[in-house]
Structure 1
């Protein structure tokens, strides 16, 4: 990292984290403490308001009112942001779409002579996320949810349930906003049912902020499903393909006779493992939990009855 980039990182780190020692900054920046001392001298020379606290509780602290006037981005950082913006365009967040595209134009302006080359590269990147095709999301719903999270406020929802054809009014404490398989979902505590529920955002017909304060509780408590132990028997070649998936991280692996692997995990959501079983029938066997095994068995039986006979 060049010196100018390092000085900007020190300023941003101190503004975000508050007081830090030279040793802490050195570990964070992966440089020596001596380098940090030299960088602090350089910041003083350009009149950055850094205060030095001495003693056991000492360290460096930056004036919180200090404004860093420019953000310098290198080519790799611009490329990363352009890829993330292309991904964001496919999240169906209409109220942010204008800002996403404007930011993309601004990033390409920074590149100037290299913009066509970057655009050609980005055009060859594709994100396939369309497992669910949502209806149109309510106007302003994402901004409303972000405000509810930030201010810890409850929401009143008008929610449509297709199976019953009903429109019901719910008062909820929003817990998490989650994007899964092409659609946005809200995990929330429903005060009508007095339990945690999952709401598909495209089925919310209207929403408004309430004055009542949201229920206290850690985000970890948001998903309504309980933790369950999942046990799989898997071909090692399949495990090599999926071990980096988020759902497979932290799995306990035990080699079995015949070359297969026993894979043990604890998770809330089971849909990933059901899809894995259907797509790789010969390479993975779900052993538990019983509810997941029963669900797979029932769907296979239905498929056999529906498609098993020759026309």
Structure 2
């Protein structure tokens, strides 16, 4: 089986048609006025969304960004047919503006964010993202650099572990879990997902696990976010993407937990609402919204899609369009 086929078989893009259809008007407008369009897939993964965009729009040049070198390799194989219309870049998605400039582009017409952990990362056991089987406690999306989850659980103070498990994992038993981790590592450092799961199971009540899913789910989410600085990166990435948009350009963002969605919503709201002070008699040009909301709140997958692709269940989609330039002359 070829690598391309391998990538296609193991990766089912979430809300594929909806994402492409939301980007379509911006692409078509750019093609009609400029003869071509540029779309950035800021979280390339295994290239499912990018493939659909390239197939549907022959005038699109696609820029694919991913911090995961293995994903870039697989996506490159999958998109080989379109290599003359693609630039695949090893970078983190908060570097989108730098990537666009480095390619000599003045702006882009569409940006897609498919956030969170990818199918590739979940399925590759040695990456340590999944709590369902034993593996090294790594969780780095970019395995070439940075601290691992093992570094965090073995070296963070108990107070810092409580902070991140409660904050990033939204785990109500964060105190118990952090205390148990510190106690366990005093005897033997934790180097595998199985060790960590056993520690969490030992302090999370069975009843809570029955209601809330796997007892280690939230702890693993918190560690993954911490190791990859996901929310910090995202808070910078969405404004950078907005800054890179041409007039009429669109951003589509899919989140998979509330903290991601809140971060996206905050960045979008800053541009979709007037910044005029309350009670201000006249809305000045610099106060006017520069983004238009394209979705009513968040959109979610249908039951049919969830049945076909269970990993789509928690997806939440938001989209905006750039409608004007700010009065101060900046792109956003």
User: Scaled by the length of structure 2, what TM-score is found?
Assistant: 0.18
Please state which structure has a larger fraction of its residues in helix.
Answer: 2
